[in-house]
Structure 1
Amino acid sequence: MNKWVKIYFSGIFMGAADIVPGVSGGTIAFILGVYERLISALSGVNKKSIQLLFKGDIKGLWKHFDASFLLVLGVGILTSLIALSGAISFALEFYPRYLASFFLGLILASAALLSKDLPKLQIKHLIMILLGCCFGLLVSLLSPTNINVTPLMVILSGMIAICAMLLPGISGSFILLMLGMYGPVLLAIKNLELSVLALFASGALLGLLTFSKLLKYLMTYFREITISFLIGVMLGSLLKIWPWKNIGQWTNIDGKDVPENVMYVMPWNINDYQMSSDLVYPLCFVLLGIFIIKAINNIFLLNDTNDIDTKR
């Protein structure tokens, strides 16, 4: 597989994940092996980049930011958002349990693959996984709020949402919902409110410039500890997409229907339980998610190995 084709399809898978509330494109980037390259490219603003800019060295600046990689990945994400948003939105509305089961399988398989980056499981790794789980659970259990929309809040929400998107296991759209900014941002996009969008984009850019540098530092100098924490975050965030839940009532927050009084239960304890539709089919989708991640990983790994052999 051509490396640019691989990057393009990585973008497609990331875009598909970002459409679903509770699923992070950063998780998919990690699985497909483009996460560290993405973080490195996004954290490229430094003294060298400023020098290249003032010199007018566009070619050097393009290479410095790995812009070809970002462009191809971005095109893949955009393609996915355009092509799959309708289908995934349909599944979210009419088959939410099956879609949640599918992504449950994706994340379980992803966490298992990430654990292979830990050559030997040690106490420090287990502690970080536990802390990551607690963090993921905390985020998953946050309740949506209504707040006053101010310019400062728009900027802060942009910063926080983009940081969440970069962190595997946490959905940026879910964080916006928790902050009470999902509706205002969505409305600003729909009505092309450029002043609001500019504030949000400036916050997102500021978040990228700061958080990507932090992630790059952590992945460079504390790789195993960071990966352990991220595995924990992914496992903790599974609660948010747990397919089997009893919902007491629904409320409208920020123009979006949000469940209240949610009880997470085992499949056979849900209301009006039916074995085929509530247990067998969801488990099949869990297995499908696991199979797809394994297949994608094997295909990408095989092609990477072939590329190395060819260079030899």
Structure 2
Amino acid sequence: MSLSRHHWLGLYLRGVAMGAADLVPGVSGGTIALVTGIYDRLISAIASVGIDALRMVLSGKIKDAWAHVDGNFLVAVGAGILSSVVALASLLNWLLMNYPLPLWGLFCGLILASAIHLFYTSRIDWTGREYALWLTGAGVATVIGLMHATQLTVGPFSVFFAGAIAISAMLLPGISGSFLLLILGMYQPVIGALVNVDLVTVGLFALGCICGLVVFSRLLKALLARAQRATMAILYGFLLGSVIMLWPWQQPISSVIDQHGENRVVQSVPVLPQTYEELVGEPMLFLCLLAFTLGAGLVSLLLSVGSVEH
């Protein structure tokens, strides 16, 4: 499908937002895709990359293969994600180190406003079943957010498994791949492997990511095709339930020492700003509320940036 410059820019900026979201533990690029109306198309395009497309390429049908995988769409979104990661990684890391509470407030406002918007503007004919699935999705995301970290034994299978789980989570709105790595106790080993250029571990993790992407994208595509209302109700629930992971004021429960010798919180519980001030420190209430409002306002901006042809 050809894209006009206006449509390409809209997709590119959506990719920028997705890349920024994926850089923050607890936030998923899939969330931005869902909010901005490209989720179905993204899953369909990713799921189309496979044997059929390869056969077309090998038989010289390059244009057919490109159309089959919705290449223009993937390039536009992918370029946005890549440029965002390159341009914003340092800034977001600095904000996480120096102003974590307002940053969480920003994403909390964005996610909560998105969940409300999607609930009231969705094409779902809400019945008792859809409400039940919506609440189930919200409950699952909430439980994940409150889970105690475990510690998998680092080995070939666990590294592969971690890659498959992390990439699958990134396709879901409201669930962060990096957060699940923390829960599994695999965040530090994976980051350490990247820092130390451990090609075997990195290769196994990447292989897990590829397999997870291939399998899970096809599963999601099938679910969206055969049970779209039910699937979207669950996804909307995931989005709402993820707010608990982004609530700015969290009381740390457990932590681990990362590869830099610093404490990294792996489990926390949400508390009120007053309680946070008593137990942890300065709640930065004004900045958090300001960031929350800005995040909610960004939803309108994301929705208005270009129109996408489906």
- Alignment TM-score, normalising by the size of structure 1: 0.88
Counterpart of 2:263 in structure 1 is 257
**Distance 1:73-1:298 versus aligned 2 partners, 3 A rule:** closer
Identical aligned residues as a percent: 38
Question: SS of the residue aligned with 1:270?
Answer: helix
Aligned counterparts of 1:122 and 1:80: Cα–Cα separation in 2: 39
Find out whether 1:93 has 2:97 as its counterpart.
yes
> What does residue 267 of structure 1 align with?
273
- CA-to-aligned-CA distance 1:61-101 (integer Å, 9 cap, x gap): 22211223222222211111111111111111111110111
Quick one: structure 1 residues 229 and 203, their matched pair in 2 at CA, closer, same or farther if it must change by over 3 Å? Answer: same
Corresponding position: 1:187 with 2:192: yes
Shift of 1:218: 1.4
**Cα deviations across residues 151-181 of structure 1 (Å, max 9, x unaligned)?**
1111111111110000110011111111222
- Please say if 1:83 is aligned against 2:87: yes
Aligned residue number for residue 134 of structure 1: 139
Aligned-partner Cα distance in 1 for 2:101–2:180: 21
Change (3 A) 1:178 1:254: farther
SS of aligned partner of 2:106: helix
Distance 1:119 1:52 in 2: 37
- Structure 1 residues 164 and 297: alpha-carbon distance in aligned structure 2, compared to 1, 3 A threshold: same
1:47, distance to aligned residue in structure 2 (A):
6.1
Q: Structure 1 residues 210-219 or 108-117, which shifts more?
A: 108-117
Q: Hey, what's the Cα distance between the residues in 1 that align with 2:60 and 2:29?
A: 34
Name the SS for the 2:151 alignment partner: coil
- What does the per-residue CA deviation read over 1:186-223, in whole Å, with 9 as the maximum and x for residues that have no partner? 12222332222221121111111111011111112211
The code of the aligned residue for 2:18 comes to M
Rounded to whole Å, the distance in 2 between the matches of 1:252 and 1:146 is: 13
Q: 1:250 touches 1:257 (CA, 8 Å); kept in 2?
A: yes
Q: Does the 8 Å contact 1:146/1:253 carry over to 2? A: no
Deviation string 1:3-46 (CA, Å, 9 cap, x unpaired) is 11111111110010011100000000111222111111111146
TM-score (norm 2): 0.89
- State the distance in 2 between where 1:277 and 1:239 align: 17
- The one of 234, 242, 247 equivalent to 2:252 is 247
CA distance in 2, matches of 1:46, 1:181: 28
Compute the displacement of 1:112 (Å).
1.9
Unaligned runs of 5+ residues in structure 2 are none
| Cα shift at 1:114 | 2.1
The answer (yes or no) to whether the contact 1:180–1:254 under 8 Å persists in 2 is no
**Which one is further off, 182-191 or 12-21?**
182-191
In 2, Cα distance between equivalents of 1:81 and 1:72: 15
**Whole-angstrom CA distance in 1 between matches of 2:140 and 2:259:** 25
Q: Does the Cα contact within 8 Å between 2:152 and 2:158 map onto a contact in 1?
A: no
Give the 3 Å change call, closer, same or farther, for CA 51–299 of structure 1 in structure 2: closer
CA distance in 2, matches of 1:152, 1:249: 26
| Equivalences, count | 303
Q: Describe the SS at the equivalent of 2:217.
A: helix
Which residue does 2:60 correspond to in 1? 56
Q: Distance in 2 between matches of 1:223 and 1:3?
A: 25
Residues 181 and 254 in structure 1, CA contact (< 8 A), matched pair in contact too: no
Which residue of structure 1 lines up, in the alignment, with residue 153 of structure 2?
Answer: 148
Query: Shift of residue 250 of structure 1?
Result: 4.5
Question: Segments of 4+ in structure 1 off by > 6 A?
Answer: none
Question: CA shift at 1:253, angstroms?
Answer: 5.4
Amino acid at match of 1:41: A
Most deviating of 141-150 and 155-164: 141-150
Q: Secondary structure in 1 aligned to 2:257?
A: strand
The AA in structure 2 aligned to 1:291 is: G
Aligned counterparts of 1:6 and 1:22: Cα–Cα separation in 2: 25
Give ranges in structure 1 of 5+ residues lacking alignment.
none
2:304 to 298, 307, 310: 298
- The question of whether the paired residues in 1 share the 8 Å contact of 2:162 and 2:186 is answered with yes
Residue 198 to residue 277, structure 1, CA distance change in 2 (3 Å): closer
